Structure 1
């Protein structure tokens, strides 16, 4: 009996304490209507850095977004101005550019992966010009690497590494440039894989 009374008193005390805390929290929340309550880790969502479009007193022109210094290049940037996006540049690249990567199973596997991701939707996984975008009639006239004719003259099977690289970089006809999606090194791996498809492998 004594134990049950003690337990009841303990429960009443816990219940009363809970009510007191709930009342205090409610009262303090209603006290100042402008208060948003406690903030946790404010610096997680208030940026310390300037946004690019914000005024910035640290620069003479008052702008945050600044032009890069003259004659500088972004990290990982590879200049490709030597072969311009013209028929002459395409033909010159076809003669002078050579794949610097060794033909091995690793490079071919990585080239195949990039090809399947970026090229196969139009060119087809076998390079037959029958990708799923062609099959649902989004695009037409995608040539097969083994039997098709190039829109710039000659047969697709005869395209050199430099011509393939140039086309990946700049695009042609309905095919847009893939320079922003595929790094220069990975472009050479795709070239390597496309040359395997040209052979029907």
Structure 2
């Protein structure tokens, strides 16, 4: 008798669940938190936001994490100021040069050429014209002017500020200066104090190893 009651109770519950389904109306949500998102959807419309739109501009004066303001304006005056005063804060090492080469070949070589002579694939196909060599005396590019142009773009060249971070742009600057030196028959810059430091560290390690061996 007890088993029969249990079976009937289960059957009634199942019938209740099945009877809730009706194709002409939405089904009941027994656990709404499994269906309704807790967070706001990107670009969603919500009354709690000004204008009812979730997507808003950042607060005035706010700075994204990991991003540093660039204090040179996008103008001829700003360009000249950067050209004359802006210096590369990244050390000129072989490691940074190799990283700069990798990035240069991705973003720059298509127009400027692998040698920096202004004869990239797009120029050879005449898809874009007027790309000068880095060794062009009339340009007299500097580390500051290279960075400024990458940040804002110039003429038909767009900005690369969104594709690269500050460190990467300065690494590209080093490699562009290396190409310029090669075209002019000069020795590319490598910071000698970095090399001396590395040599001293190796010598110190070697001396400590010898002392350790002699002690035994």
Q: TM-score, normalised by structure 2?
A: 0.64
Q: Which runs of 5+ in 2 are unaligned?
A: 1-21, 25-32, 183-187, 189-216
Does residue 1:97 correspond to 2:79, yes or no? no
Q: Deviations over 1:130-177 (max 9, x none)?
A: 11111111101111112x35xxxx33xx31110111111111111111
Aligned to 2:69: 79
Instruction: Tell me the C-alpha RMSD between the 2 structures.
Output: 2.9
Q: Which runs of 5+ in 1 are unaligned?
A: 1-31, 35-42
Q: 1:194 aligns with which of 169, 172, 176?
A: 176
For residue 121 of structure 1, give the secondary structure of its aligned residue in structure 2: helix
Q: Are residues 114 and 58 of structure 1, via their aligned partners in 2, closer, same or farther at CA, if it must alter by over 3 Å? A: same
Q: Are residues 138 and 48 of structure 1, via their aligned partners in 2, closer, same or farther at CA, if it must alter by over 3 Å? A: farther
Report deviation, 1:102.
Answer: 0.7
Aligned to 2:212: none
Report deviation, 1:86.
Answer: 1.3
Does residue 1:50 correspond to 2:40, yes or no? yes
Q: Are residues 104 and 177 of structure 1, via their aligned partners in 2, closer, same or farther at CA, if it must alter by over 3 Å? A: same
Q: 1:124 aligns with which of 95, 106, 113?
A: 113
For residue 199 of structure 1, give the secondary structure of its aligned residue in structure 2: helix
Q: Deviations over 1:47-80 (max 9, x none)?
A: 6533333222444653322332332111222211
Q: Are residues 87 and 61 of structure 1, via their aligned partners in 2, closer, same or farther at CA, if it must alter by over 3 Å? A: closer
Aligned to 1:162: 144
C-alpha separation between the residues in 2 aligned to 1:100 and 1:55? 44
C-alpha separation between the residues in 2 aligned to 1:126 and 1:165? 18
Aligned to 1:10: none
Does residue 1:62 correspond to 2:52, yes or no? yes
Aligned to 1:177: 159
C-alpha separation between the residues in 2 aligned to 1:45 and 1:124? 54
C-alpha separation between the residues in 2 aligned to 1:94 and 1:104? 22
Which range moves more in the overlay, 83-92 or 119-128? 83-92
C-alpha separation between the residues in 2 aligned to 1:124 and 1:98? 25
Q: TM-score, normalised by structure 1?
A: 0.69
Where do residues 6-45 of structure 1 align in structure 2 (5 Å cutoff)?
A: none
Report deviation, 1:112.
Answer: 0.6
